[in-house]
Amino acid sequence: MGAGDTKARHSPSRLMTNHLFSLIRDGVPDPAKTVIETPEGRRYAYADLIARAGAYAAALRAAGVAPGDRVAVQVEKSPEVIFLYLGVVRAGAVFLPLNTAYTPAEIGYFLGDAEPTVFVCDPGRREALAEAAAGVRTIWTLDGAGGGSAAEAADQQDGDVADVPRGPEDLAAILYTSGTTGRSKGAMLTHDNLASNARTLVDTWRFTADDVLIHALPVFHTHGLFVATNTVLASGGSMLFLPRLDPKLILSLMPRASVLMGVPTFYTRLLKEPGLTPEAATGMRLFVSGSAPLLAETHREWQARTGHAILERYGMTETNMSTSNPYDGDRVAGTVGFPLPGVSLRVVDPEGGRVLGPDTVGMIEVKGRNVFQGYWRMPEKTAAEFRADGFFITGDLGKIDGRGYVHIVGRGKDLIISGGFNVYPKEVETEIDALPGVVESAVIGLAHPDFGEAVTAVVVGGPGCPDEAGVQAALENRLARFKCPKRVLFVDELPRNTMGKVQKNLLREAHAGLYRD
């Protein structure tokens, strides 16, 4: 579990194949079949994907990339990024995608920490990143249209190359976590972590070569890169590859597609489109949501508008996917369903680690082939977040109900302790969101001289929304006094990151001094 030692541990054997890439190669239904199509009508067949990935693998090896080396990538989304990702895997190296929003200072930290052999960036940022990338041996560029020195390096290679053998335990990727508390950590994911999860999702969500996924997620994050892309590739299906969320474009593509995967924002934005009707969704068989909690109201509205129950699932960078609502059976709004096959999930008392019974809120812990190998070069952090019996402490609070459905109550670090009592923000948010005129809310704890932390609500109000006193009065009879917000603040919208997660840390910072005077 130590960081950075995988290269030494695994000497490639001639008999071995490339574990993750073999999953994709072996599942190709017909090399001429389209795997990726862009809105401009560019089409790539499986044969193109394999050859282009081979050309990248050859170019990387020519640039001195050895098995186990990292290849860091901060570029705009395009099909070429997928070919590059698979090229890195075929070269036996470790793919390290970086959020396009990261600043040069942040990139400097990641490159210093991960020590990649090659760094690929957008040509427009090449100069701004020069200092941050000064220690990297080779710097290539790749733009949103798929052009740049990385693509040129691949153009010069023959794509018909042998894969570098890699076993299930070898690293395939490092994904840095969002790092809202402290330094961002690099989650080390093996070939088997990714391949086993892709297989499980193909089975659970009934993917086949006939599926066409609308892919509008970023590809620097586990959701767009692994959950969406690997699942499609492992099933021999295809993707309509959009550069970003564009609700009108998604609606116009639905008649040609069968599955949409998105963060909750996808669904709230699509619900604002008058064209979203049962007819528009006729050919679709599945809508999946994750990465942030889907409001029960969004679930209900979607069902009323399209006739489809959104399937909500739960996972994280470190664990890939851990739970899913059932394909057949009740997809229960406000829950993330059951542990996936092969995943053990338990809820424990965060202090003592004792396993808790049904309907009792505690820390969610997960174990299985889906769970990562630890944080890159952070052995202490890794050790602190695993139990002795191998369970990973997710940092998410939740419960398992009497029917076995898992509920996420929020991040452990968002728990509010007011006057010595635990307050779960989700419970308060659910009550506030149910008030007429409230669009949504975020409940946070702010430093308070008497209570330690004071429960504080940040509310987005629509027409008919009560004012501060009105919200407080409405909650008085519904929640214990210590759970009721001491203050209710109104905003036009909640701060969200690209994955649709409400950034409570920003709200806490913005209102840190609220109770100081």
Residues of this chain that bind ligand AMP (CB under 6 A):
177-178, 222, 290-293, 312, 314, 316-317, 336, 394, 396, 408, 411, 499
HSE, side-chain direction, 13 A CA sphere, residue 160: 0
C-alpha dihedral sign at 459, 463, 468, 472: negative
**Shortest distance, position 421 Cβ to ligand AMP, whole Å:** 23
Residue 388 amino acid letter: A
Pick the closer one to ligand AMP by CB: 147 or 412.
Answer: 412
User: What DSSP element (H or E) covers 421?
Assistant: strand 421-423
Picking from 442, 350, 428, 432, the residue whose alpha carbon sits closest to that of residue 396 is 350
Looking at 16-74, which runs of residues are DSSP E strands? 34-37, 43-45, 70-74
**Shortest distance, position 44 Cβ to ligand AMP, whole Å:** 27
Pick the closer one to ligand AMP by CB: 73 or 499.
Answer: 499
Pick the closer one to ligand AMP by CB: 247 or 315.
Answer: 315
**Shortest distance, position 365 Cβ to ligand AMP, whole Å:** 12
Tokens 């705009």 belong to which residue?
A: 76
Pick the closer one to ligand AMP by CB: 253 or 332.
Answer: 332
**Shortest distance, position 335 Cβ to ligand AMP, whole Å:** 9
Residue 362: alpha-carbon gap to chain centroid: 23
**Shortest distance, position 313 Cβ to ligand AMP, whole Å:** 6
**Shortest distance, position 200 Cβ to ligand AMP, whole Å:** 16
Pick the closer one to ligand AMP by CB: 18 or 320.
Answer: 320
**Shortest distance, position 125 Cβ to ligand AMP, whole Å:** 23
What number of other Cβ atoms are within 10 A of residue 127's Cβ? 9
**Shortest distance, position 399 Cβ to ligand AMP, whole Å:** 13
- What pairing do the DSSP bridges indicate for beta strands 238-241 and 212-215? parallel
Q: Are 338 and 331 contacting, i.e. CB atoms less than 8 angstroms apart?
A: no
Residue by residue, what is the 3-state secondary structure of 345-391?
A: EEEECCCCCCECCCCCCEEEEEECCCCCCCECCCHHHHHHCECCCCC
Pick the closer one to ligand AMP by CB: 253 or 316.
Answer: 316
Pick the closer one to ligand AMP by CB: 376 or 451.
Answer: 376
Q: Are 363 and 347 contacting, i.e. CB atoms less than 8 angstroms apart?
A: yes
Q: What is the CA radius of gyration of the chain?
A: 23
3-state class (DSSP) for residue 348: strand
Q: Packing angle between helix 79-90 and helix 19-26, nearest 10 degrees?
A: 120
**Shortest distance, position 398 Cβ to ligand AMP, whole Å:** 9
**Shortest distance, position 20 Cβ to ligand AMP, whole Å:** 19
**Shortest distance, position 16 Cβ to ligand AMP, whole Å:** 30
Picking from 133, 121, 222, the residue whose alpha carbon sits closest to that of residue 175 is 222
Pick the closer one to ligand AMP by CB: 68 or 218.
Answer: 218
Contacts of 456 (CB under 8 A, 6+ apart): 443, 444, 445, 446, 485, 486, 487, 488, 489, 511, 514
Pick the closer one to ligand AMP by CB: 100 or 178.
Answer: 178
Contacts of 275 (CB under 8 A, 6+ apart): 248, 251
Pick the closer one to ligand AMP by CB: 159 or 224.
Answer: 224
Residue 335 amino acid letter: T
**Shortest distance, position 224 Cβ to ligand AMP, whole Å:** 11
Q: What is the dihedral of CA 480, 481, 485, 486, to 10 degrees?
A: -170
Pick the closer one to ligand AMP by CB: 92 or 293.
Answer: 293
**First-to-last C-alpha distance (Å) of the chain:** 48
What number of other Cβ atoms are within 10 A of residue 292's Cβ? 16
Q: Are 261 and 288 contacting, i.e. CB atoms less than 8 angstroms apart?
A: yes
What number of other Cβ atoms are within 10 A of residue 327's Cβ? 14
Pick the closer one to ligand AMP by CB: 22 or 178.
Answer: 178
Q: Are 428 and 457 contacting, i.e. CB atoms less than 8 angstroms apart?
A: yes
